[in-house]
Amino acid sequence: MSENKAGKTKVTVVFPAKNEESTIEGCIKAAKESKYNPKIVVADGFSGDNTRKIAEELGAEIILPEKRMHPGKGIAMVTALKKILADKPDMILFLDADIRNLTAEWVDKLVDPVVEDGYDMARGQYLRAPRDAPVTKLVARPLLGTFFPEISHFDQPLSGEVAAKSEVWANLLNRNLPDGWGIDIWFLIETATLGYNIREIFLGFKEHKSFSHYTEDVAKLSKMSEQVALTIIKEAIKHHRIDNVENASV
Ligand SMILES: Nc1nc2c(ncn2[C@@H]2O[C@H](COP(=O)(O)OP(=O)(O)OP(=O)(O)O)[C@@H](O)[C@H]2O)c(=O)[nH]1
Ligand SMILES: [Mg+2]
């Protein structure tokens, strides 16, 4: 895309963040270098560290959810979406705030397919360490295979790196959205079942803070795992797929 066209596309980048003082600065600085010159928002989950202070000093807008809850990634994203949509951007891109190797290229690569190639949503796909992403590998993908086989080919169904047109995000709101870790898979299932065009974009290796060095107890992911599983099951009920269990081999 020409720099000129990129300059005419109004993009907002949102970082959901809970205690990310060690990575938020690098993330914001990287995103700001995008050719889309995006507005930066931090959807903060009442961080108890310096995340908000660092973000404000870098010129980011801070949006806090009305309710304090943890896990609260969903409520933070939904609150931010409602506020940002009032500003009428063309595109909204979510990025995790714990990424250590984020570059402006990630922003451009996720926004380009929507602006340039007519996709409604572009989602980050990456190489991940063998022990990374256990919830994706052991919960999300197998359950999608049972209940939503048509979207089980997505390599990263829980990707936090997701760009979509504002009209898509607006259409996804005003429903019963998950407050916690179920939000990412909920967005994928609802976007796909509404018939939108979704594309995964390869971004290379994702180096992020969570689950650092894979020395932690996987039980730390039990709440995430529960909320992702329950969200897929609730969606299966809503979309009349729950009977698929009858044909599942066990
Ligand atoms: N606002 C808000 N953001 C959150 C909350 N919990 C996590 N986040 C942010 O959501 C993003 C993703 O969270 P991570 O803990 O990195 O989870 P993940 O990378 O999806 O999963 P794993 O690496 O498998 O643990 C990060 O930027 C977090 O700071 C919360 O309760 N509220
Ligand atoms: Mg992470």
Please state the atom number of ligand 1 nearest to the C-alpha of residue 133: 24
Q: Cα(4) to centroid of ligand 1, in Å? A: 34
Determine whether the shortest distance from the Cβ of 95 to ligand 1 is under 6 A.
no
pLDDT value of position 208: 82
Looking at CATH, the fold of the domain delimited by 3-241 is given as Spore Coat Polysaccharide Biosynthesis Protein SpsA; Chain A (3.90.550)
**Single-letter amino acid code for the residue at 99:** I
The closest residue, in CA terms, to atom 15 on ligand 1 is 210
Per-residue pLDDT of the chain (250 residues; tens, 9 = 90+): 556 668 789 999 999 999 999 999 999 999 999 999 999 999 999 999 999 999 999 999 999 998 899 999 999 999 999 999 999 999 999 999 999 999 999 999 999 999 999 999 999 999 888 888 899 999 999 999 999 999 999 999 999 999 999 999 999 998 999 999 999 999 999 999 999 999 999 999 888 876 667 778 888 899 999 999 999 999 999 999 999 999 888 8
Q: How far apart are CA 12 and CA 87, in angstroms?
A: 10
pLDDT value of position 66: 84
pTM for the whole structure: 0.96
Determine whether the shortest distance from the Cβ of 139 to ligand 1 is under 6 A.
no
Q: How far apart are CA 92 and CA 128, in angstroms?
A: 25
Determine whether the shortest distance from the Cβ of 18 to ligand 1 is under 6 A.
yes
For the chain, the structural domain boundaries read: 3-241
Q: Which ligand ends up closest to the CA of 133? A: 1
Sheet hosting strand 121-127, strand order edge to edge: 61-63, 39-44, 11-17, 91-94, 162-165, 121-127, 198-205
